[in-house]
Amino acid sequence: MPRLLFEKTGRGVWISHLDLMRLFQRAFKRADLPLTHTQGFNPRASVSIALPLSVGVESACELLDFELDGQTVSCDEICNRLNNALVDGVKVLEVYETGRKIRDLSLLHCVVTLEYDSGVPAGAQSAIENLFSQESVIVPKKTKNGIQDQNIIPMIRRLSVVSVDPNTIELDALVCCQNPTLNPAQLALAVEMHLPDYKADFSKSRRVEIYDQNENVFR
Amino acid sequence: MTELLQRVLPTVQKPARYTGGEYNEIKKDLQDVRVRVAFCFPDTYEIGMSNVGMRILYGIMNEMDGVWCERVFAPWGDMEEAMRSNGLPLWALESNSPVKDFDMIAFTIGYEMSYTNILNMLNLSGVPLRSKDRQGLKNIVFAGGVCAFNPEPLADFIDFFSLGEGEEITVEIVSLYDKAKAEGWSKEAFLLEVSKIPGVYVPSFYEHIYNEDGTIRQIKAISGVPQVVTKRIVEDLDSAYYPTKMIVPSTEIVHDRANLEVFRGCIRGCRFCQAGFSCRPVRKKSADVLYRQAVETLTDSGHNEITLSSLSTSDYRELKELTDEMIPYCAQRRINLSVPSLRADNFSRELMQKLQTTRKSGLTFAPEAGTQRLRDVINKNLTEEEILTTCANAFSGGWNNVKLYFMLGLPTETDEDVLGIAELVYKVIQTWKECASNKKRGLRVHVATAYFVPKPHTPFQWEKQITPQEYLRRCHLLKDHFYSKSIEYNYHTSDISRLEAVTARGDRRLGAVLEVAANSGAKLDGWDEYFNYKLWLDAFEKCGIDPDFYTIRGYGEDEILPWDTIDVGVTKQFLLRERKRAYEEKITPDCRHGCSGCGANQLLKEVACDA
């Protein structure tokens, strides 16, 4: 099945996962690239997105699998036509014939931005570094069965704290993104819960790149 | 997008409705823009983006040189709270500029219960509510839409109203503003000049004088403006502007599909229906033009559904030609063709079979009344036989879901008429028992009753609304006569319909009530989550206004009506004649079986009425 790599930036980050699926289906139609559909009572277009992205999160590494209905169009052509049919903030970066099995996707390079309106408090950077060098950091996670406490440390492969400007620091991290999954927002939550003095006024995250278990870029 | 908005968005539900950036959104360079129009829809994005009128006018204004029209919608409660606590003023989606930076602020108003949203949106914009408190040309507030046919409750807030279809008049209005701004006119000079555009009603030029009993003694036109303003229409729909490059929302909206209007006006003359009279005369679009526009719209938007809309699509003369072309086009491309508002006639039954795709949606009928006598009173030309024949066909074809809509409180209604609804429903169930091809799946009959609201510009515009207690008594009477488990009965709450009756036929004095209600938090009244009846009752009390005056009192035939300054084309004599026929239980045949002389054809200069 062909796959495309796309980014979600700017105003595009506010489009939810379900809306994005619909948006792509329409974009394929506008681009005159008919998709195959599932059989049955409620036919569905063959588009699927690898790791659903939370609303508000920017990403440079989203994957979407699709299948065209009886057309042979080159990958470059698909990429161009789709980009003409897409909206501000959703852009296809690359289209390729086949991709690796999604189950091999395992790690995510993400950046969590912490913004402090009256300047980054003194000592924040080292305190946060210390927090994440512990063996266990418990953060509550919302699941279907209610809220469960979870130790997030085993799911963090690497993490560094970077000072960006006097008001901003970033957590640059490589985390598990499948079985188990760590939502990068949990990193900001960990700071908020365990270091209340260094709670940011605003936090957001972005996806930078995805990898397999051996840290090879995943496509 | 501002930093502040970026921070607010993650905290609210469905943020995509506040960000703009959709496919086909129109952006312009401010350096080339002389007139900025904030086009406000007084409800949420999901509702407003489903409105075809707004899409047409958005396209038209943006085709004008030097004009940039942007969209504004009412925020949901969580966003409003965030805006108020962060001091974030209401903004337009395209540029994110605050509404108060715009030259013109336009509202399209289709529903009386959105009046408080208008005030709330002005308030969130930091724009003074009352027209007299806004000085200068900046922030001229104008409004159109069906509610403008009785503009009086909003007269204190809206600088002027644009009556009828907006394709032409909007261009004239905005062009005049462009000139006024370039030449530095005062607001007063502009209002006087704009009042000379046919179809523009400037309420401040009309003085309402009342009798002791609260009725209107006189409406005095001042500054030489016409005593009556006639609505505008587009004569030739084939050549009228129609946007085939429509904005495609990035988030789901209520009507998430392409929409083609096949004709305007209605030949039916159901006596309770405001649109049926106020949208006359009948003008059609040719099937060729519609097919071309359908293809253009679908190709450009990528939608997988298209609706053929009108007040009564079966009455479109070229429906066969159009659907014969559309059905194969849509089938090939997995596009769902939906044709609502079909009548229960033979052709429609055949068409339904042809349209039938994998999914069987329900059948919906709106008999409105339970007995033939009462259906004759309201001139709803739908017979029991038509309903049952269509049901029989559908049930044998595998349908097992029927919706039936009625009104309670119609003029001359008795308990016998109310129980007639139950009888009709039983006949539908009986028909299913006789005809159903598959009884295992059971039958669902959804019955809904609404509380009759008399509307201006209809033959029932003088009628009394029954009291809420009486309405509820009739609902319960009906409920007690539904024994079958197949029936699901819902009735509208009385509170909203009572307020709707007040605002629909209200006069200028209601402005105070709207202001008090909005200031005390009334908003999104069309939504159960927010509707608060008590806020309204308190506002009436505080302003010394009795809602019953507008509802259960009824209006005298000799009385000056608040909307007498507005001419929608049908004459008062015709409405009175129709009212009389209603009480005589006489139907008036549809316009194709003979012109009933409503007067609306007088609006046409170039073409004849297509009824």
What's the structural domain count of chain B?
2
> Are residues B225 and B252 both part of a single domain?
no
> Was domain A104-212 assigned CATH 3.30.160?
no
Cα–Cα distance, A164 to A170 (Å, whole number): 7
Structural domain includes residue B591: yes
Query: Of A39-43, A88-92, A168-172, B409-413, which range is least confident?
Result: A39-43
Name residue A202's amino acid: F
Residue B610: give its domain's CATH number.
3.30.750.210
Cα–Cα distance, B108 to B161 (Å, whole number): 10
Chain B residues touching residue A88 (CB < 8 angstroms): 21, 25
| Tokens coding A6 | 């796309």
Contact state of A204 with B252 under an 8 Å Cβ cutoff: no
Domain boundary among B230, B261, B282: B230
HSE value, Cβ hemisphere, 13 Å, CA-based, for B480: 8
- Choose the mutation target among A21, A71, A87 for the interface with B, i.e. most B CBs under 10 Å: A87
> Are residues B293 and B210 both part of a single domain?
no
Predicted local distance difference test score (pLDDT) of residue B360 = 59
Contact state of B16 with A19 under an 8 Å Cβ cutoff: yes
Give the CA distances from residue B13 to residues B16, B75, B251, in Å, rounded to whole numbers and listed in that order: 9, 10, 12
> What Rg do the C-alpha atoms of chain A give, in angstroms?
19
Chain B residues touching residue A28 (CB < 8 angstroms): 302
> Are residues B179 and B252 both part of a single domain?
no
Q: Where does residue A157 fall: left (phi above 0), alpha (psi -120 to 50 degrees), or beta otherwise?
A: alpha
Closest partner residue to A56 among B15, B21, B304, by Cβ?
A: B15
Cα–Cα distance, B163 to B146 (Å, whole number): 8
Name residue B498's amino acid: R
| Tokens coding B66 | 């030097």
Q: Which chain B residue has its CA at the smallest distance from A37's CA?
A: B334
Domain boundary among B174, B204, B230: B230
Predicted local distance difference test score (pLDDT) of residue B358 = 44
Predicted local distance difference test score (pLDDT) of residue A85 = 97
Predicted local distance difference test score (pLDDT) of residue B390 = 86
Contact state of A29 with B302 under an 8 Å Cβ cutoff: yes
Structural domain includes residue B396: no
Domain boundary among B171, B199, B230: B230
| Tokens coding B226 | 């016409």
Predicted local distance difference test score (pLDDT) of residue B1 = 67
- Choose the mutation target among B250, B253, B356, B359 for the interface with A, i.e. most A CBs under 10 Å: B250
Contact state of B250 with A87 under an 8 Å Cβ cutoff: yes
Predicted local distance difference test score (pLDDT) of residue B361 = 64
Cα–Cα distance, B539 to B537 (Å, whole number): 5
Predicted local distance difference test score (pLDDT) of residue B342 = 80
Structural domain includes residue B365: no
pLDDT above 70 covers a percentage of chain B that reads: 99
> Are residues B225 and B351 both part of a single domain?
no
Residue B196: give its domain's CATH number.
3.40.50.280
Taking the mean position of all CA atoms in its chain, how far away is CA A81?
24
> Are residues B158 and B253 both part of a single domain?
no
Q: Where does residue B457 fall: left (phi above 0), alpha (psi -120 to 50 degrees), or beta otherwise?
A: left
Give this complex's ipTM: 0.93
Compute the count of residue pairs across chains A and B with CB atoms less than 8 Å apart.
71
Q: Which chain B residue has its CA at the smallest distance from A31's CA?
A: B302
Q: Which chain A residue has its CA at the smallest distance from B252's CA?
A: A19
> Are residues B92 and B220 both part of a single domain?
yes
Contact state of A11 with B21 under an 8 Å Cβ cutoff: yes
Q: Which chain B residue has its CA at the smallest distance from A28's CA?
A: B302
Give the residue numbers spanning the domain of B254.
245-358+569-611
Q: Which chain A residue has its CA at the smallest distance from B256's CA?
A: A22
Cα–Cα distance, B309 to B324 (Å, whole number): 17
Q: Which chain B residue has its CA at the smallest distance from A56's CA?
A: B10
Judge contact between A15 and A23, C-beta under 8 A: yes
Q: How do residues A4-46 score in pLDDT, each as one tens digit?
A: 999 999 999 999 999 999 999 999 999 999 999 988 777 889 9
Predicted local distance difference test score (pLDDT) of residue B191 = 98
Region A126-133: mean pLDDT is 96
What are the residues whose beta carbons fall under 8 Å from the beta carbon of B529, sequence distance 6 or more?
B77
Q: SS3 helix, strand, coil % of chain B, rounded to 5?
A: 40, 15, 45
Q: DSSP alpha helices (H): ranges in chain A?
A: 17-30, 75-85, 124-132, 185-194
Q: How close is the nearest chain A Cα to the Cα of B438, in Å?
A: 18
Contact state of B21 with A43 under an 8 Å Cβ cutoff: no
Chain A residues touching residue B358 (CB < 8 angstroms): 41-43
Cα–Cα distance, B456 to A63 (Å, whole number): 56
Taking the mean position of all CA atoms in its chain, how far away is CA B323?
26
Interface of A with B (CB under 8 A): 10-12, 14-16, 18-19, 22-23, 25-30, 34, 37, 41-43, 55-56, 85-89, 202, 204
Query: How do the domains of chain A map onto residue ranges?
Result: 3-99, 104-212
> Are residues B181 and B273 both part of a single domain?
no
Chain B residues touching residue A25 (CB < 8 angstroms): 302, 304
CB count within 10 Å of CB B168 equals 19
Judge contact between B455 and B504, C-beta under 8 A: yes
pLDDT-flagged residues of chain B (< 70): 1, 356-361
Contact state of B250 with A41 under an 8 Å Cβ cutoff: no
Chain A residues touching residue B9 (CB < 8 angstroms): 14, 56
> Are residues B205 and B318 both part of a single domain?
no
Chain B residues touching residue A27 (CB < 8 angstroms): 302
Predicted local distance difference test score (pLDDT) of residue B357 = 56
Region A84-88: mean pLDDT is 96
Structural domain includes residue B372: no
Give the CA distances from residue B575 to residues B273, B275, B316, B367, in Å, rounded to whole numbers and listed in that order: 12, 14, 25, 22
Closest partner residue to A15 among B1, B251, B301, by Cβ?
A: B251
> Are residues B121 and B43 both part of a single domain?
yes
Q: Which CATH architecture has domain A3-99?
A: 2-Layer Sandwich (3.30)
Structural domain includes residue B425: no
